[in-house]
Every structure is written in C-alpha cells, then in structure tokens.
Homo-oligomer: A and B are copies of this chain.
Amino acid sequence: MSFEIISETQCFGGTQGYYRHAAETTKCDMRFSVFTPPQALDGPVPVVWYLSGLTCTEDNATVKAGFQRVAAELGLMIVCPDTSPRGDDVPDDEAYDFGKGAGFYVNATEAPWNTHFHMYDYVTRELPALIKEEFNADMNRQGITGHSMGGHGALTIFLKNRETFRSVSAFAPIVSPMNCPWGEKALTGYIGADRAAWADYDACALLESGGATEVNILIDQGLADNFLEGQLKPELFEAACEKVGQKVTLRRHAGYDHSYFFISSFIEDHLRHHADALK
C-alpha cells in the first residue's frame, strides 16, 4: 500500500512517525501518527488505537498525551488517526463541532457529507489494512481508546467489532450522542433526522442491543470537566452497563478537567489496562 513518511523521530528508544496516504474511504489525503516501540524490532507488537476529540488532528495526543514512555516500556504500538477528512475539496462547517475536525467516527449518508465523511470505514477498515501491511503490528492483539468524541469512537467501534478488539478504554467519552447536543447535531447532519439510525453509533444503545462483552471497560472522567453534565453524561453508560451486566471501571477524578493535562495524568493506567489484555 502506498503511503508517505512525513517524519520519523526517535522517542524513548522507539520511533514516533507521522504519515500521509491517499485514502479511498474518505476520498482525500489522510494523515496519521504511529509510535513504534523498540520491541517491534524483534517481532509484531500489539496495537492500541487512540481516537481524538473535537478540533483535534493526529498531532494532539501524539505531542500532549505522553504515551510514548509507557508504550515503549510495554511494547505497544500506538496509532492516532486524524478526526475527519481534510482538504480543500472536503465540505466544512463554521462550527468547531461539525465538519472538519469533527467526523464523529461515522459513515455519513447525508449530502454533502456523504462523499468524504466515512471515518467509521476509514478507522475500522482502511487504516488497519495499511497498518497491518506496512508496520510490524500484531493485528490479533488490538485495543482501542480515545478522548471525548474519540471516546465515543472507541466505545462504539469496540462494541461493533467485538472480534477485533480485546481491550477498550476511554477518557471523558461522549457515551450517548443520541442524548447530548454535540451528538444530536452531528448525527442529524451526517446520518439524517431518523433517530432509529442513530442507535448504530451510540455506545449505550449498542450495549443494550448487543449485550455485555467479556472485557472490563476502563473509563476515566474528570469532575471539573466543563462538558461533564451537558455532553458526556457517564451515568448513562453506567446505567446501560448495569442493565446488561457489562463490567466497567468508571473512575471519577475530583479537580480534573477535559484537557490533555487530565489525559496525561492517567494515560499510563490505560496503557497498562490494554497491555494486560493484549499480552
């Protein structure tokens, strides 16, 4: 598969790379980052996907989350995709929470978004195929995590692809886009007004329809997070887990907000959570 190296930099004995390729699913050039741990020199290593939140690119977590130290220790490859299609041909919206930087990890069906905004297919199918072919990744050992909109992505993609992922976690995730303003706006715009179709991209609905999984889901949530009550609503996911008997560790942290200072404080716990399941 064809892809271009933008940069590769030594970090904690591994390689932090930025890459670009022409994506078929999103019909545009897409960027992503991969941290390859030193253990990949000796053989395929497990992969943890990190999906970012609104306004982010592949760069935010790569420079701010501080995952490289622990990933190098545990021998985990970390892949960070971008959060939407990009480029002059790609439609956009003035708002920060729709259009570019806000792909919501769905396959859009509504015009004009349905040409490029196929982030679900991109993240679950096209980019994994490239990672499998071009990096020393063991695709039988994959975990997924993310932040905010990316936490929604991680939870829904995990619940829809239970054979693919052995572990999942999330930082301050949108747990039910059907029940918050960010989600209602995005799903209406990308998928249309029929709320029945939205359930396919709602972690709470997917859990209730699909039933419990065998893994323990780790979620961290700051209690000083400005979006906690209006958008994130972890109590909805807690209730859905209880209803179907899904094991979840939801940790609420006094004083922490929605920023990468929160994520960096707990990323080590998440990577150890994934490594335990992937080793």
Contact = CB atoms under 8 A, between A and B. Distances in A.
Interface of A: 9-13, 16, 63-64, 66, 68-69, 222, 224, 253, 255-257, 259-262, 264-265, 268
Q: How many copies does the complex hold?
A: 2
B257 A66 contact: no
Contact of A224 (B10, B16, B222): B10
Contact of A10 (B9, B64, B66, B222): B222
By secondary structure, the A interface counts as mixed
B9 A261 contact: yes
Contacts of A261: 9-11, 16, 68
Contacts of A260: 63
A220 to B, nearest CB: 12
Given A222-B10, A224-B10, A69 B68 contact: no
A11 B260 CA distance: 9
20 contacts: A9-B256, A9-B261, A9-B262, A10-B222, A10-B224, A10-B255, A10-B256, A11-B261, A11-B262, A11-B264, A12-B265, A13-B265, A16-B261, A63-B64, A63-B260, A64-B64, A66-B264, A68-B261, A68-B265, A69-B268
